[in-house]
Amino acid sequence: MTHNAFISRQQAAPTGSGKLDGISVAVKDNISTAGIETTCGSAMLEGYVPPYDATVIERIKEAGGTVTGKTNMDEFGMGTTTETSAFGPTENPNAPGRVPGGSSGGSAAAVASGDVRIALGSDTGGSIRCPAAYCGVYGLKPTYGRVSRYGLVAYANSLEQIGPMAADIEGLATLFEVICGRDTRDATTVDPPEAVSDSSTVTGELDSPTIGIPTELLEGVDEPVATAFDEAMTHLEAVGATVTEVSLPALEVAVQAYYVIAMCEASSNLARYDGVRYGHAGDETGDWNSVFADRRSVGFGEEVKRRILLGTFALSAGYQERYYKQAQDARRWLIASFDALFDEVDLLASPTMPTEPFPLGETIDDPMRLYKADRNTVPVNLANLPAISVPTESPRGLPVGIQLIAPAFSEDQLIRVASTF
């Protein structure tokens, strides 16, 4: 494939029939698939073939779906452009020469190119919504606990969720209906009461919701993206929504808190990849510490090593109170602020990403610029809320996204509003 969306292709036979009968699903390469290589886009796991399916894969097969292949991704989900993959970057099918977003860039590119109608991604700080926006497809980050994470290779456990990506809202709603629900193998999963999570929510009609626009999420947004966002809000008003500006001051510390927490959890989760328990096992010789360091140095890419080192530092003696504890305090403030705001409005809206898709190679050596690009998406993960990216275009014809955020377990509201576009 010219856009390099797939790391591997395989047509697995379905085990049943149902809502996905005869439909192929592309799967992000950090979700376990029995008998199909799962690398997380990393040399550390090259050649690893899981002996079991993740819960979401089991449910897809039970619904009649087939796994058509594993898609490229930023290494261990750490990136915004799918350029940190050990297997090379993915090109944006809808914006040639530009990134597809990350870290689920391969899944978004597979959908955007027409290789598949639906795909699975995972979202730790925007990794479904960012590539959905940049590739011009739909992407849903579910409420934390709505979809089982059993079989998802861990990056930051308290933040990440598996979710659907699709070329159309009907496909998104159907895939979400198949994969959501409680799983006894993931103690964080729940079945919320009276929740609607099927394609019946794709009505194309609104029940006059009030949609708040946090002014903090409009700061620093490039003009072409702001223009597309304004047009989308005008559309929502035309179909019956009330749109109003609101303020959420806690957003000012969201990016800082997110990266401290995510890197700390990554440092802990990725400690197991030492070439003995898991991961690259080379021919290095010497004392245990030297061999351990050499294997991790060879197996991990630069961005992964950067985040492990920063997370380890933030958790070290004398610094945990200064960084990790303060980040958790900021997270609690953000959660309380969202809760209070949802007493006033039904949904929140913002541009998914503050910029159009970056040209390939432009930002890969500028991590601070990439971290700041996540400013509109990471608050959702910190607050464990659901959010959707709805595709639209900038005045220059480049794909961008409109992000809608809802209270916990209100995916039905997001799907209903998205279906009006």
User: Residue 90 CB: number of other CB atoms within 10 A?
Assistant: 34
Query: pLDDT 10s digit of each residue in the chain, 421 long?
Result: 457 898 888 755 555 569 999 999 999 999 999 999 999 999 999 999 999 999 999 999 999 999 999 999 999 999 999 999 999 999 999 999 999 999 999 999 999 999 999 999 999 999 999 999 999 999 999 999 999 999 999 999 999 999 999 999 999 999 999 999 999 999 999 987 665 555 667 776 778 899 999 999 999 999 999 999 999 999 999 999 999 999 999 999 999 999 999 999 999 999 999 877 888 777 766 777 787 788 888 899 999 999 999 999 999 988 888 999 999 999 999 999 999 999 999 999 999 999 999 999 999 999 999 999 999 999 999 999 999 999 999 999 999 999 999 999 999 999 999 999 8
Beta bridge partners, 77, equal none
Q: Which helix (H) or strand (E) holds 165?
A: strand 161-166
pLDDT at 198: 57
Catalytic residues: 28, 103, 127
Task: Give dist(CA 97, CA 253) in Å, integer.
Answer: 33
Q: Where are the domains of the chain?
A: 6-249+335-418
Dihedral-angle region of residue 82 (phi above 0 means left; psi in -120 to 50 means alpha; beta otherwise): left
Beta bridge partners, 147, equal: 180
Quick one: tokens of 341?
Answer: 């705001």
Fold of the 6-249+335-418 domain = Amidase signature (AS) enzymes (3.90.1300)
Half-sphere exposure of 416 (CA within 13 A, CB side): 19
Tell me if 212 sits within 8 A of 244, measured CB to CB: yes
pLDDT at 329: 97
Residue closest to 243 by CA, chosen among 253, 225, 230: 230
3-class state of residue 335 by DSSP = helix
Q: Is there a contact between 398 and 356 (Cβ–Cβ < 8 Å)? A: yes
User: Is the whole model's pTM more than 0.85, yes or no?
Assistant: yes
Element (H, E) at 307: helix 302-315
User: In the chain, what's the furthest Cα-to-Cα distance?
Assistant: 69
- Residue 345 CA to residue 257 CA, distance in Å, equals 25
CB contact set of 270 (below 8 Å; sequence gap of 6+): 76, 155, 300, 304, 308
